[in-house]
Amino acid sequence: MRLSFISDPLFSFLCDVVPFLSPIPTTLQCSTSLYAILFATRKHPLNDLFGIVQSPLHLCRKIIGQTYVHLRDNPFRFVARILFNFFMVTLIPFSSPSSKAVPLINQIRCLSDKIPSDFGGGSPMEKIRLMVHLATCANVSTYVEIGVYRGRSFLPMALAMKTSGGRAFGVDPYSRTAAAEDDVSDQLRPHIDHFVETTDFDQIYSDVEALIDDQDLRESTKLLRVPSSQAAGYFRDKRISIGMLHVDGNHDTRFVMEDVQLYLPLMEPCGLVILDDIDWDSIRPAHAWLNAHATLLFETSNFAVFFNGQGDDISAFPIKRRELNALFNLFKAEPFSATWTILGTIPPQPKVSISLITYNQERYVAKALDSILCQQVDFDYELVISDDHSHDGTPQILLDYQTRHPDRIRLNLRTENVGAVPNYLDNFSVCRGDYVAFLEGDDYWMDPLKLAKQVNFLEAHPDHAICCHNVMVVDANNDADRLLLKRVPASGSVIDLCRGDYISTPSCMVRNHLLDEIPDWLYTLPGCDWPLDILHAEKGKIGYLNDVMAAYRVHATGIWSGHDSKSQLETALSLTQAINRQLCYRYTRSFQIYEQQVRSALEKEAAAASTFSKDERGLNDAPGNGEQLSLAANGIHEVHREYLHAMGEIARLRDQNRRLRARLATAKEETLRLRSRLVKSRRTIASAELWQRRSWTKRAFHRWRTAPLKEPLGALQRLLRSLRKRRWLAAPPLIEPPKPAVVEISQIEPITASSRPSSNPQVLPHTEKNAFPHHPLVILDDAFPHPLSGFRFQEFHSYLEAIPGTMIHCTGEAFPTLGEQRSLEELVDLSTVTHPALRGRVQRLKEYEPLKASLAYLVFLGNIHRFQKILACSNLPFVFTLYPGGYFEVNNPQKDAFMRSVFKSPLFRHVIVTQNITHEYLLEKKFCRPDQITAIYGVVTPLEHLNRNLSLKKHYGPDKPTLDICFVAHRYSPNGADKGYDVFVEVAKRLSARHLNIQFHVVGNFDATIIDITGLENRITFHGTHVQQWFASFYADKDIILSPNLPFVLGPGYFDGFPTGCCTDAALHEVALFCTDTLQLNQVFTHGVDIVIIPYSPEQVVEIISHYHEHPDALKSLAQRGCEKVREVYSYEQQIAPRIQLLKRLIEIEIESETGSNDNATSHALASIN
């Protein structure tokens, strides 16, 4: 409803009554329109722009709410005046807007019509409306436009700024020199030169100034006739923060890059940037730069809108990307303009949008439309129709219905056929309702309360994202065949949906705006309704109503049902595999169940086709049977769908039964283990009691005899310790820190096939190994197969391929440290999909089950500490790689004692070291002999990283004007000092003050609160933590990785390897390495050629980087040479091959020792690993 014209005296009275109305700009007061008042007071994103109100009482409630605080000063005066205002407003009659009540959007349209469009510029009306809407949603108070020209976009924005109490600044030098452009094509050159020579810029400037005065914008609008670079100083000196920036000045690359780089630091943290003419080659570098330093909010073929923020900042913006796209399409659609511009507004946002797609369905579409328009609801809804260029009478039927229901139907008649999937997704993207229901032109709804029931369900269940129901399958003549679904759970999940699509399109209603944008990969699939439902189901549950409220039609010309069942099943199979791949195999188990069902149906289909092929050919020849067979074939898919759903339910129950059986088996195993411990405890107690009775004194056991009632286990442990002190029981067979006595190097005997002991006296008899173990090599680890540990994946996978019979036993204990919430089994299933060689060779380690193998391999000293019990109980020889970190510290007495016990163990065979300092430390401390150490510099690198395609790599200087410096690390200390984060921030502050074209990037668990970044707000970007695959796109335009590591910060002996894994990964993307090396660990790199060894001094680092800033070619050469060196040092031949050769040699020694004199067994075992 709308309020009619209010007289000037009444408006003056309202301003006198309500103090918050008095600052409203004079233009609104002159318009004397309650639309203007509502625009100044309402805050709804759509309504505040166009003056829409819900009821006449709304204004009074607003006034009372705003003036409540003033009641305490003079309550009687305010109460009297507010009551008078209430009666005055409610007595005003309601009518359509009069000629005097001109809404803001009509004022903007009238103003734009006065400004002609020519070669120099001319923003379309839909763009202007979008900019005004964005400014309103974001509460923009300062608007700046570079390149005003005739002011076709600037003056409407200035009017909007004045209306909302903001300011508008225009920047344009209005001179031929500034308008001349060099970076243009030969085709455009004559036109631009003619435009510059014939345009009277002084006259245009005068015209714009005259319009500013004519519209009474002088107080809130300022036109700066200076170059944009000079105007930037004006805004900086005046400390003006820009809320919205419109860049449309000189289109030469150097000027556009200068504009975005100078003005982005002047913008508010959540400001908006509009970049024009992005289809020009000269604009594309600025477009790419903004993509890297801001967030793309909306884009068309010729302009883009960016949000000045990163990551989660955009969640604070009041409108989402998909809503913005729908709104722009609404502004652009001519039918809506003809209907709604009479009122100067757009329709309010409906509760429900119905997405209807059509294609050559003239026979059925009228029934579909009637079933929608007969819905009985108490809320507003819209019908959004998209026809995919039908060739029959469908478009005319749709136009007829739109003519009869212009306020209800939004129609898009495509001029070319785009396909069912793009038509479906595009139509969904422009739906504006809180909920979206779907229908296709050949289906229809059967229940007039369908929408009401589904909306009520979703309103009552906010945790549900989808609501669906059962449907009736009908034929071309509307004859009912059967129900589509049986036994569907009332509430499902995305797991259930991945096991089979049970949501029929005419039954589906989703909660809108759960998806910020529609993924591009959806457009590449043969079908999109199922994957779109899966994406929504990831946001909430699936509700099912057991009511038949729609009909799904099966006929010969259907988009889906018109295909034969074999084609449908084949499409379903390929679709399943594509969805699983695009979802990164998150639901592999569920999809595999569905794939198995589809393959089974395909096999039955093939068998049936083979059996009845002759009969079918004969029946086809019979008159009248062709159509019946066609209809029967069209229904096969529905039968298969029921079958697949039933099979899915069976598979789900079987899976549940399997999980319950596994839990029962685990409980039984735990019960047997506890029972065994109880028996042993009773025997020990009986033995102790017998010894107590025989002892001379009972005082030592007086407390123990009374303790079992309160703490039996504690008493038992104290008893065992007491008995061990009296040497009644032997010490347990564990690798534990030794007594203070030091074992000399001379006491360690060489390990050979003949000298290795056949049995370990510390191991209980039942754990001795068989004569020939099951596996030549077992790998024990706590983090495999997590994707964040790429070197483990490559190394262990290489061993599986090179040494047959190798097994990996893992625990997943490191997953929480890596921020992983998935279980070990889920990651194992995921890794076996991408790496089939892992199937059946990766298991969860069972702590109480001894391992049978010839040799064990581990990485990091911490894993030796973690798996020491299983190694001892299994009597299993081991070899490990001693990386820096991971429980290893130098000059730490406690860690040294543990290391000495490790190397003293008769199970130790060999150690691999990766740093020279580690090698020297082991020899210096006499932990082991030199022949027990193998030095392999560096770390295993995934092979696919060594052969990346770097054709899209962009380097500073030749390819882009910005120098991008990154810092990549995981924070272990409070301020990241061990990784040098404090030095990086200090370097960034100094460089940003010296150079305007340097940007900084931080990857890892860092944010702006770790260290003060004042002065870097618009120059530094925090990207958070990411998986390995993400870094390929991240490093594509980065130039330097800065790694000022400092050893011994986390502890007296902690240090990182050189270079770190993050640095080597960056180098493989042609990012130049700038690293500290305080421990002089470098052995293969050459300073100044393929790496820069930097000092731990921010001042010196700034000077070094500034040198390369002035010499971009030298920086590019440094990055390329560093990439070549890393590929050489971390190649398969340098890293993996020596490790495999060492392991095979050690396995051969162990097998010879195990088989003894049995030459046949030895030969067979050796042949199996070679």
Query: pLDDT value at position 414?
Result: 87
> What are the pLDDT digits (tens) for 617-662?
444 444 444 444 444 444 555 555 566 566 666 766 776 777 787 7
Is pLDDT of 463 > 90?
A: yes
pLDDT tens digits, one per residue of 388-411 = 999 999 999 999 999 999 889 988
Ranges 287-296, 607-616, 904-913: which has the least confidence = 607-616
DSSP at 393: S
Question: What's the CATH code, domain 104-317?
Answer: 3.40.50.150
How large is the average pLDDT for residues 674-679?
77
DSSP state of 41: H
DSSP characters over 660-698 = HHHHHHHHHHHHHHHHHHHHHHHHHHHHHHHHHHHSS--
Confidence of residue 63 (pLDDT cuts 50, 70, 90): low
Q: CA 376 → CA 410, 448, 510, distances in Å?
A: 20, 6, 19
Lowest-confidence pick of 865-874, 923-932, 1126-1135, 1160-1169: 1160-1169
Amino acid at 769: K
Strand intervals (E) in 424-501:
435-440, 444-445, 464-474, 480-483, 491-492
N-to-C CA span, the chain = 86
- List the one residue out of 1128, 1160, 966 whose CA is nearest residue 1063: 966
Give tens-digit pLDDT for 127-163: 888 888 888 888 899 999 999 988 888 999 998 898 8
Nearest one of 975, 982, 988, 980 to 1015, comparing CA atoms: 988
Using N-to-C axis directions, what is the helix angle for 154-163 and 34-41, rounded to 10°? 80
Q: What homologous superfamily is domain 944-1129 in, according to CATH?
A: Glycogen Phosphorylase B; (3.40.50.2000)
pLDDT confidence of residue 764: 31
Measured distance CA(53)–CA(33) in Å, rounded: 13
Task: Indicate the pLDDT class of residue 375, thresholds 50, 70 and 90.
Answer: very high
What is the number of helices (H) and of strands (E) in the chain? 44, 30
Question: Sheet containing 878-882: which strands, arranged edge to edge?
Answer: 842-844, 807-810, 775-781, 853-859, 878-882, 908-913, 933-935
pLDDT of res. 1047:
85
From CA 558, how far away is CA 393, in angstroms rounded? Answer: 16
pLDDT at 99 (0 to 100): 33
Q: Are 144 and 6 in contact (CB under 8 A)?
A: no
pTM: predicted TM-score of the whole model, two decimal places: 0.44
pLDDT tens column, 1076-1111: 998 888 889 999 999 999 998 999 999 999 999 999
| CA atoms of 1056 and 1081, how far apart (whole Å) | 10
* Coil vs helix vs strand at 386: strand
The DSSP code sequence of 510-576 is: EETTSSSS--GGGGGSS--HHHHHHHHHTTSEEEEEEEEEEEEE--TT-TTTTS-HHHHHHHHHHHH
Same fold for the pair 104-317 and 745-935: yes
Residues whose CB falls within 8 Å of the CB of residue 131, separated by 6 or more in sequence, listed in order: 153, 156, 157, 244, 246, 274
> Which region holds residue 563: left if phi is over 0, alpha if psi is between -120 and 50, else beta?
beta
The two structure tokens encoding residue 806? 């190798």
CA 910 to chain centre: 43
**Sign of the CA dihedral with 647 first, then 649, 655, and 657 last:** negative
Residue type, 428: F
Pairwise CA distance, residues 1040 & 1001, whole Å: 10
In 111-163 the beta strands, taken as DSSP E runs, fall at 142-146
d(CA 437, CA 457): 13
User: Mean pLDDT in the chain?
Assistant: 77
What pLDDT does residue 27 have? Answer: 34
pLDDT of residue 93: 37
Joined tokens for residue 193? 């030169």
For residue 1138, say if its preceding peptide bond is cis, omega within 30 degrees of 0.
no
pLDDT, position 38: 33
Residue 596: pLDDT band (50, 70, 90) is: confident
| Residue 382, number of CB atoms within 10 A of its CB | 20
Contact criterion met (CB below 8 Å) for 273 and 290 = yes
Percent of the chain residues topping a pLDDT of 90: 32
**Residue 799 pLDDT:** 92
Confidence label for 387 from pLDDT (cuts 50, 70 and 90): very high
Q: Tokens 């596996």 appear where? A: 775
Among 898, 872, 904, CA closest to 886: 898
The residue ranking higher by pLDDT, 65 or 24, is 65
- C-alpha to C-alpha distances, 1124 to 288, 850, 1039, nearest whole angstrom: 28, 45, 16
Structure tokens belonging to residue 545:
């109503």
Answer yes or no: is pLDDT of 108 > 90. no
Q: Compute the residue count for the chain.
A: 1170
Band of residue 850 on the pLDDT scale cut at 50, 70, 90: confident
Distance CA 645, CA 649 (A): 6
Q: Single out the residue of 1160, 773, 817 nearest to residue 972, CA to CA.
A: 817
Residue 225 contacts residue 173 (beta carbons within 8 Å): yes
**For 266-322, how does the pLDDT look when each residue is reduced to its tens digit (9 = 90+)?**
998 888 999 998 888 889 889 988 988 888 888 888 899 998 876 555 655 666 666
Q: What is the pLDDT of residue 896?
A: 87
Instruction: Kindly report which listed range (212-221, 455-464, 810-819) carries the lowest average pLDDT score.
Output: 810-819
Q: What are the CA-CA distances from residue 78 to residues 40, 62, 520, 633 (Å)?
A: 22, 14, 58, 78
User: Closest Cα to residue 852, out of 914, 768, 941?
Assistant: 768
Per CATH, the number for 745-935 is 3.40.50
Whether the pLDDT of residue 54 is over 70: the answer is no
In the DSSP assignment, the letter for residue 774 is: S
Buried b (16+ CB within 10 A) or exposed e, 1017-1033: ebbbbbbeeeeeeebbe
Q: What is the mean pLDDT of residues 419-427?
A: 90
Break the chain into its structural domains and give their ranges. Answer: 8-90, 104-317, 347-584, 702-729, 745-935, 944-1129
CATH superfamily of domain region 347-584: Spore Coat Polysaccharide Biosynthesis Protein SpsA; Chain A (3.90.550.10)
Burial of 694 (0-12, 13-18, 19+ CB in 10 A): exposed
Angle between helices 613-621 and 588-611 (to 10 degrees): 60
Using alpha carbons, list the distances in angstroms from residue 247 to 134, 136, 148, 273, 906. Answer: 16, 19, 9, 7, 74
Task: Kindly report which listed range (97-101, 510-514, 1071-1075) carries the lowest average pLDDT score.
Answer: 97-101
pLDDT grade for 1063, boundaries at 50, 70 and 90: very high
Question: What are the tens digits of pLDDT across the range 694-730?
Answer: 554 444 444 444 444 445 556 665 665 555 544 434 3
Q: CB–CB of 1091/1073 below 8 Å?
A: yes
CA distance 243 to 266: 9
- Listed in sequence order, the residues at least 6 apart from 214 whose beta carbon sits closer than 8 Å to its beta carbon are none
Find residue 1075's DSSP bridge partners.
1043, 1093
Q: Which of 628, 632, 609 has its CA nearest to residue 620? A: 628
CB atoms inside a 10 Å sphere around CB 1104: 16
Q: 410 φ, ψ to 5°?
A: -110, 120
pLDDT at 679 over 60: yes
* pLDDT above 70: residue 68: no
Q: Which residues contact 1156 (CB under 8 A, 6 or more apart)?
A: 771
- Identify the pLDDT of residue 341: 34
The strand pairing partners of 464, in sequence order, are 541
- From residue 904, alpha-carbon distances to 763, 901, 908 in Å are 16, 5, 7
Q: Return the C-alpha torsion angle 255, 261, 264, 265, nearest 10.
A: -140
- Dist CA 451 CA 495 (whole Å): 26
CA-based R_g, the chain, Å: 38
The conformation of residue 423, written as its DSSP 8-state character, comes to H
Range with the poorest average pLDDT among 158-162, 422-426, 449-453, 753-757 = 753-757
DSSP H or E run through 1023: strand 1020-1024
Question: Facing residues of 469 across strands?
Answer: 545
